[in-house]
Amino acid sequence: MTQDLTPKQALIIDCDPGVDDAVGLLLALAAPQLEVLAITTVGGNVPLEKTSRNARIVSAAAGRADVPVFAGAARPLARPPAGAGEFHGAEGLGDETPTEPQTALAEGEAADALIDIVRSRPARTVAVAVMGPMTNLALALRRAPDLVDRLAPVVVMGGARSEGGNITASAEFNIWADPEAAAEVFDSGLKVIAFGLDATHQVRATEARIARIEAIGGEAARLAASTLRFSQRIERQIVGWEAAPLHDPCTVAWLMRPDLFELRPCRIAVETISDLTRGHTAVEFRVEAAAAPHLWAVSADGEGVFDLIARTLEAAA
Ligand code: BDR
Ligand code: CA
C-alpha cells in the first residue's frame, strides 16, 4: 500500500449553520486532503447560540467532535442581526431536532482564535472558508492587519453578479447581512476567491443526487441528506425551484477540486450606502491585472461537486 505524503491543506471554517453550511462542514471534515483546525461561528441564518450549537452537532455527526468550535460575533458590525430561518428551519438544521452537544464551546472568541491559529503556523499555509456574514473575518483583520500577508487561500460564499440577488433584487444574503464587514474584507488587500450565486446556482440538489447521498449510510451522510431534502422542499415552496442550489460547500469543493470551477480575476466592491441595493457586489472584470485582486467564480460543475460530496462521504462512512 502506498502512503499519500502530500501535506493536507490546513483550514478554518467560519460559518452560520445553516443547512448548506452543514453540508460544507461535513464535506470538509471528511475530506482526506483537508485538516480542519477550527470552526468559528457567527450569527447569520439563525442566532449565534444556535449556529454555535449546530456547528458542534455537525462535527459530532462527522465523528470530529475534537475540532474546536469558537463562537464569534452575535451581530453584524453596524446593523441589527438578520436571519434566514425560513430557508434553514427555526433551529437552523432543517427538519433536524437539535439536542445539546456533548462537547463544550472552545474558550475564547472566534476572531481572536483565528488570529492566534494563523499566527501559530507558517505564512500562507492556513486557508479560511467563510460560509456566513463576514463579521468575524473583518474583526480579525481590524485587530491583526498582518493576516493579509499570512492567510491563503481565502474562499468565501457570498455575492451575486449575473444571477441577481436572493435576499433582495441585487444582493446575496451573506453580503447583505453584514455589508460593512464584506466591504472591509474585500478592501483589505486580501486576495479573496468568491463563490457567489452565479456559481452556486449551477450546483443543484436534484432528486438523484440527494438519493445517492441518502443511500450511503452513516450519520454524516444521513445528516447531509436530511438538510438537502429540507432545502429541496423549502425551495420548491418559496422560490418554485425543482432543485435547490447548494451554496456553502462550493468553497470547500474548490479547495479539494479547483478544476470544478471557472474563476475570473476581478475587483469586488460592496454597496453599503443605498438601502435599495445594500450588499450588492459590484464585480468588475474590466480592470488591469494589478487592480484585480480577487477571483470570482463564473461557473461550477454541479455534477462534479455532488459527485465529490458523495464520494467523500462514502469513503468516510
Ligand atoms: C448563503 O446564505 C445563507 O442562507 C446560506 O447558508 C449561504 O451561506 C446563500 O446566500
Ligand atoms: Ca451559510
Distance 118 CA to ligand 1 centre (A): 25
pLDDT at residue number 6: 80
C-alpha cell at 47: 442566532
From the list 174, 177, 176, the residue with the least C-alpha distance to 195 is 174
Residues near ion ligand 2 (Cβ under 5 Å): 16, 18, 21, 131-132, 248
In this predicted structure, what is the pLDDT of residue 167?
A: 97
- pLDDT on residue 291: 87
Q: What is the CATH number of domain 9-316?
A: 3.90.245.10
Span 175-202, pLDDT tens digits: 999 999 999 999 999 999 999 999 999 9
Q: Where do the structural domains in the chain lie, given as residue ranges?
A: 9-316
* 2-16, 47-61, 122-136, 151-165: least confident range: 2-16
> Rounded CA gap, 87 and 238, in Å?
9
Coil, strand or helix at 132? coil
For residue 2, pLDDT over 90 is answered with no
- The Å distance, Cα 158 to ligand 2 centre, comes to 9
How high is the pLDDT of residue 1?
52
pLDDT of residue 290: 86
Cβ 196 vs Cβ 242: under 8 Å: no
What are the tens digits of pLDDT across the range 61-114? 999 999 999 999 999 999 999 998 899 999 999 999 999 999 999 999 999 999
Residue ID of nearest Cα to ligand 1 atom 10: 173
Q: What is d(CA 307, CA 268) in angstroms, rounded to the nearest whole number?
A: 30
| N- to C-terminal Cα separation, the chain | 21
pLDDT of residue 9: 98
- Check residue 43 and give its pLDDT: 98
What local confidence, expressed as pLDDT, does residue 53 receive?
Answer: 98
Indicate yes or no: pTM above 0.85. Answer: yes
Angstrom CA distances, 153 to 33, 124, 193, 255, stand at: 15, 7, 8, 9
CA of 83, nearest ligand number: 1
Q: Say which DSSP state 171 is in.
A: B
Of ligand 1's atoms, which has the minimum distance to the CA of residue 245? 9
What is the C-alpha separation between 88 and 3, in angstroms, rounded?
Answer: 40
pLDDT at 265: 97
Give me the pLDDT at residue 4, please.
67
Query: Distance between CA 220 and CA 27 in Å, rounded?
Result: 9
* CB burial of residue 141 (10 Å; 0-12, 13-18, 19+): buried
- As a 3-state breakdown, the chain gives helix, strand, coil percent values, each rounded to 5, of 40, 20, 40
Q: Which residues are catalytic?
A: 247
Instruction: Report pLDDT digits (tens) over 234-269.
Output: 999 999 999 999 999 999 999 999 999 999 999 999
Residue 134 has pLDDT above 60, yes or no: yes
CA-based angle 132:134:138, to the nearest 5?
A: 160
Phi and psi (nearest 5°) for 117?
-65, -45
Q: What pLDDT, on a 0 to 100 scale, did the predictor assign at position 85? A: 82
Mean pLDDT score of the chain? 96
- Asked if residue 227 lies in contact with residue 238, where contact means CB atoms within 8 angstroms, the answer is no
Peptide bond connecting 145 to the previous residue in cis, omega within 30 degrees of 0:
no
Measure Cα distances from 296 to 158, 159, 168, 193, 271 in Å. 10, 9, 20, 6, 17
Output the ligand 1 site: residues, CB below 6 A.
18, 20-21, 45, 84, 87, 131-132, 157, 166, 172-174, 247-248
The predicted structure's pLDDT at residue 3: 62
Q: Which of 129, 248, 139, 244 is nearest to 192 (CA)?
A: 129
Please state the rounded mean pLDDT for residues 128-135.
Answer: 98
Pocket perturbation via mutation, ligand 1, pick of 42, 86, 93, 157 by most ligand atoms within 8 A of CB = 157
pLDDT of residue 217: 95
